Amino acid sequence: MLFLYFIIFGKPDGFSVLWTAMLPSFGLLLFEIRYGSSLSLLIFAALIFFFWTPVGQGLLQYDYSPTFKLRFPLLYLACFAVAFLLKKLREVAHNALRESRKNYEYLSNHDALTKLYNRFWLQTIIANPEKYDLRPAAVAILDIDNFKLINDSYGHPNGDIVIREIGETILKTLNGSGDLCRWGGDEFLVLFHTDIDADTVCRRVVDAVHAHCFLFNGQDMRTTLSIGLVTAPNGSTTDIEALIHRADVNLYQAKENGRNRMISSRLGE
């Protein structure tokens, strides 16, 4: 209504209508492109009606010059085009920034080699267990047996293949029963969800890794896995650090007992 008042009466001295050239910028800023563009084009249609049609010109109470009536709608359309372009550029920049942030968060929480969660992800959860509402039923630390010998015999690139494919084998065997992360080097860590038979799952993991065959330089190669598992009392706990410490102790014992096996216990026993 204010727009119509200013354009019809032209107060003061025809200057008030000039502010309508700013409407596309405000419309596109306040609303999404579809609604902002619709509003801007509706105003442009009104300018065309009042300045370029006999009926509209007859409604005007201010004597705009012929040059002004000819050029101002074009000026308004140019302002709309610039505002539309700037809005699109803002959207592109915003989407690129959002995608970059998403990629940064992914890279900061995932291991580059295995694409699994990394130690930073786990430490973030340990530092804020209430925020993530995580109460694991068990924790397992898994270590590739004789991995240094694999690196020395087949080379580090093939060692990376072993780590990556064993990570894939563990993840497939877990089948969603826990969160898997690369704990560091040739070690993995699993946070088991509540009400999960972690002992049975870990034994399946040991068998699956032992059954996996690698082909290096025309030779078949197999390796094994040792696991230290600890389950939480009462089915869950927020003391993840205590679970990890005891799982690490059990892993060391599994290594001492000959590897390719699992040692499990309950926290507090």
Regarding whether 75 and 24 lie in a shared domain, the answer is: yes
What's 15-63 look like in SS3?
Answer: CHHHHHHHHHHHHHHHCCHHHHHHHHHHHHHHHHHHHHCHHHHHHCCCC
Active site includes 160?
no
Residues 213 and 256 in one domain: yes
Structural domain span for residue 202: 119-266
Q: Which helix (H) or strand (E) holds 1?
A: none
112 in any annotated domain: no
Instruction: Classify residue 159: in a domain, yes or no.
Output: yes
User: Which of 227, 230, 251 is closest to 242 using CA atoms?
Assistant: 230
Task: State whether 132 and 50 are in the same domain.
Answer: no
| 232/101 same-domain check | no
End position of a domain, from candidates 51, 78, 107: 107
Could you report how far apart the first and last alpha carbons of the chain are, in Å?
A: 79
Residue 130, token pair as written in the block: 């209430």
What would you measure as the largest C-alpha separation in the chain, in angstroms?
101
Which residues are CB-contacts of 165 (< 8 A; sequence separation ≥ 6)?
212, 214
Q: Is residue 113 part of a domain?
A: no
207 and 240 part of one domain: yes
Examine the fold and report which residue of 59, 84, 107 is the final residue of a domain before the chain moves on: 107
Same domain for 102 and 123, yes or no, is: no
What whole-number distance in Å separates Cα of residue 49 and Cα of residue 246? 81
pLDDT at 34: 85
Is residue 98 a part of any domain in this protein?
yes
- The answer to whether position 208 is within a domain reads yes
Count: domains in the chain: 2
pLDDT at 195: 67
Residue 129 shares a structural domain with residue 259? yes
Interatomic CA distance for residues 24 and 79, integer angstroms: 7
Question: Which residue type does 255 have?
Answer: K
| Residue 182 lies inside a defined structural domain of this protein | yes
Q: Peptide bond preceding 12: is omega within 30 degrees of 0, i.e. cis? A: yes
Residue by residue, pLDDT tens for the chain (269 residues) are: 777 777 887 777 767 778 788 888 888 888 888 888 888 888 889 888 988 999 988 888 888 888 988 898 899 899 899 989 988 898 899 999 999 999 999 999 999 999 999 999 988 888 876 777 778 889 999 999 999 999 999 999 999 999 999 999 999 999 988 999 999 899 999 999 876 789 999 999 999 999 999 998 888 899 999 999 999 888 777 788 889 999 999 999 999 998 899 999 998 76
Provide the 10 A C-beta neighbour count for residue 197: 13
* 53 and 151 inside one domain: no
Query: Residues 75, 128: one domain?
Result: no
Cα–Cα distances in angstroms (integers) from residue 238 to residues 16, 124, 235, in the given order: 66, 13, 11
Strand order in the sheet with 178-184: 178-184, 187-192, 138-144, 225-231, 262-266
Catalytic residue among 111, 143, 179, 186: 186
Is residue 114 situated within a structural domain? Answer: no
Q: What CATH number did the domain enclosing 236 receive?
A: 3.30.70.270
**Residue 223: its pLDDT value, please?**
94
Q: Which of 77, 107, 137 is the last residue before a domain boundary?
A: 107
Positive or negative, the CA dihedral 166, 167, 171, 177 is positive
- Determine, yes or no, domain membership for 134: yes
Residues 83 and 157 in one domain: no
Residues linked to residue 143 through DSSP beta bridges, in sequence order: 187, 226
Question: Are 124 and 255 members of one domain?
Answer: yes
Exposure on the CB side of residue 22, measured as CA atoms within 13 A: 6
SS3 assignment for 78-131: HHHHHHHHHHHHHHHHHHHHHHHHHHHHHHHHECCCCCCECHHHHHHHHHCHHH
Quick one: 126 and 245 in the same domain? yes
